[in-house]
Structure 1
Amino acid sequence: MIRDAKPTDASALASLQSYLDAPSPRLLASFASLGTCLVSVVDGPTASAGSLVGYVLLIGGDDVHLAELVVHPAHRREGRGRALLRAAIDRQEPGTRVTLAVAADNDPARSLYESVGFRPIDYRAGFYDAESVEGSKDAVVYAYDAA
């Protein structure tokens, strides 16, 4: 299930954010005033039902930037990242451009973004701070134009 994040989700969101290479805690803490945060929740009768296992953070107005997308490692390859992306895109008004930046060597993420219709529009050498990211410091910028 995908739903809007609530203020009571703050600690679970912060925990999930720890799985990102370059998290922005201040950005996540202020999502309510900056944009939208959607969460993926475990469904079903299990002990962990209702637990947050992923989120997507979007900021902006006329054009939107996908600032963070993360799914807990134990719930990857379940379609949760794709579902979060689709839900984020489906909420946009026609003509809205959604952008994002991803490490140039993050092939799984790039494949996911391309599979839902994002296309590369720019390459930024040295985009990521050398101390905050493992692997490539370069980024590929993607865009999706909502129809």
Structure 2
Amino acid sequence: MHVPPSEAPVLQGLWEAVQAGQREVLLSPYLPASYAFLTHVLLCTPFLALDALGSVCQRVRSWRVSAGSGPPPSLRRWGECFLRVLSRYLSSVLPATALLHALCSPAVLPLLAPSCWELCVEVFACLLVFDTLFFISHVAMHR
């Protein structure tokens, strides 16, 4: 159902375009877990780049938090870390996301797009909740 332009929120055109061919993807329990994993990997990428540069440039290595602790981790260690993170997402985050999705996910998508303010507040709230749960699990894992 198309909403008249005079009543449509600013993001309505984008929302309709995303909904047009992606309903199954948007309602999938795999989307949030995949997005969380991708965000995790992308946010680690600058540190990987700095460690790679640190192995060839002493100046970059001197900026590390633990500058005197020796050379930065090798790419092999980064690969092992990536596999460990992937396995934890597959064994923990994905099942938890699927369970939450089964319990409280809408069966249909809303017709109207959220306002820009609602979108920002909800994205911030989701990131805050996810970060809090991630922190709690991280602390529990290291105790």
Same fold (TM over 0.5): no
For normalisation by structure 2, the TM-score amounts to 0.25
Larger Rg: 2
For normalisation by structure 1, the TM-score amounts to 0.24
Between Structure 1 and Structure 2, which shows a larger proportion of helix residues? Answer: 2
